[in-house]
Amino acid sequence: MERISWDQYFMAQSHLLALRSTCTRLMVGATIVRDKRIIAGGYNGSVSGSVHCIDEGCYIVDNHCVRTVHAEANALLQCAKFGVATEGAHIYVTHFPCIQCTKLIIQSGIKNVYYAADYRNDPFAEQLFKETGVKTKKVPLTSLAVDLQQDEKSAYVSKLLDRLKNVTNRGEYEQLVEEGKQLFHKKDR
C-alpha cells in the first residue's frame, strides 16, 4: 500500500472540513499547517449562534452571501482565538481564495496557498499573492474515500484478471488490466 503525499493528506482534510459547511451555494474547507502539523481548520458557515443558510437560506447582498464566514477566515480566527501563530504556515483550501480571504492570508504571515479547484479566481488576488511572495499551487484532490476493504478488493480484482487471462483475447485482457490499475492506482502488476 502506498502512502498518500502530504499535499493530498492536508487537502483531504480540507475536503472533509467542507462537509461541515452550512452554505448552500458552495462548500469550502481550509486547513492551516505548520511543520507538517495541522494547527487549525475551518469551513464556511454562519457566525456561531446565528441561523444557517441550510436552515433559512442565504442572505444575499451584491450577489454574495453575507451570512457566512469563509473557511479561510474561520481557520485563521481559530488560530487567533487559541493563540496559535500562523507566521510561515501553509493553508490548504478546497477552492481558490476570494480577495478578502487573500488579504487575510497574506496579513497572517502564511507563505503558501494550496487549492484544489479554481473558483472565480480574482486577478487582483493573484497579483497580491505574487507581489507579497505568497506562493500558490493548484493541488487537486485525487482520492478522498476511506475503504477499509481496499486491499481485499484489489486482491479479488487481481484474482479475476488472472482467471480472465486465459478466456479472453489479449487486447481485451490488457484493457481490463489497465482499468484495474487505474481503479486501484497501481503502478505495475
Catalytic residues: 72
Could you give the 3-state DSSP secondary structure of residue 57? coil
Handedness of CA 3, 179, 16, 97 (dihedral sign): positive
State the Cα–Cα distance between residues 43 and 29, nearest whole angstrom.
4
What cell does 176 get?
481490463
Nearest Cα residue to 138 out of 179, 104, 95, 174:
95
State the Cα–Cα distance between residues 81 and 92, nearest whole angstrom.
20
State the Cα–Cα distance between residues 49 and 91, nearest whole angstrom.
26
Would strands 90-95 and 112-117 be described as parallel, antiparallel, or unpaired?
Answer: parallel
